[in-house]
Amino acid sequence: MDLGAVTRMDLDESTRTNRGEATRTDGREATRTDGRAQTTLDFAIGASTFLIVVVFVVAFLPGMMTPFEDVDPTQAADRFAESLSGDVLGHPADGNRLNETCTAAFFRQLEQDEPKGADCRFDEGATTPAEALATDHVVNVTIEPRSVGGSPPSLSYDGTSVTPAAGPDPDGIGTVTVARRIVLLDDGTGQQRTYRLVVRVW
């Protein structure tokens, strides 16, 4: 066999072997490099998500923990009027029709500053409208005639006449927010008439 041919065959085999090792080595290095780049991206995404969550908690959690009484008087007055006319002084199933006994007991209790023990839907330990409505605002509640010149309802509790008004007088107060609801109530003669439930908040 020609010695030169043998030498060329050995060189060609060596070259192919070295190239194969280089290719495999390059492949392994490329894979490790790709893994390090992915880890950096994951860290950036995780850090961004954490910061977004922290900002959300700081911005919104205090507002969600704030009690209702800290809202502005306009929203408070509307809520109180809705609660009194549709629930506290009557029953949700009756709409805005007030219960005569509970309405009289409510105003009598606040007028006398002592619990009356009526089986109704308001706080029987409350001595002011603000306590009955669980608020820090000052509240005045009255039931007025719907038309000018009309008469307020004639209420009584345990045989005692009751004035349908409770809370401090708003006269002289600079800014007072008012909410009104039309309600149906016995006028004291056995007839149902419409009146105006008025809630003043400051």
Mean pLDDT of the chain: 80
Question: Does the pLDDT value for residue 30 go beyond 50?
Answer: no
Please give the pLDDT value at position 44. 81
Task: State the distance between the two ends of the chain, measured CA to CA, in whole angstroms.
Answer: 115
Q: Which tens digit of pLDDT belongs to each residue from 60-91?
A: 665 555 544 457 899 999 999 999 999 999 88
Mean pLDDT value of segment 41-51: 85
**Rounded CA gap, 194 and 192, in Å?**
7
Per-residue tokens: 140: 């005045």
Output the pLDDT for position 23.
47
Between CA 161 and CA 108 the distance in angstroms is 9
CB neighbour list of residue 85: distance below 8 Å, 6 or more residues apart: 96, 98, 181, 183, 197
Please tell me the least confidently modeled range out of 68-77, 175-184, 193-202: 68-77
Q: Could you tell me the residue ranges of all domains in the chain?
A: 1-66, 68-201
What type of residue is 24?
R
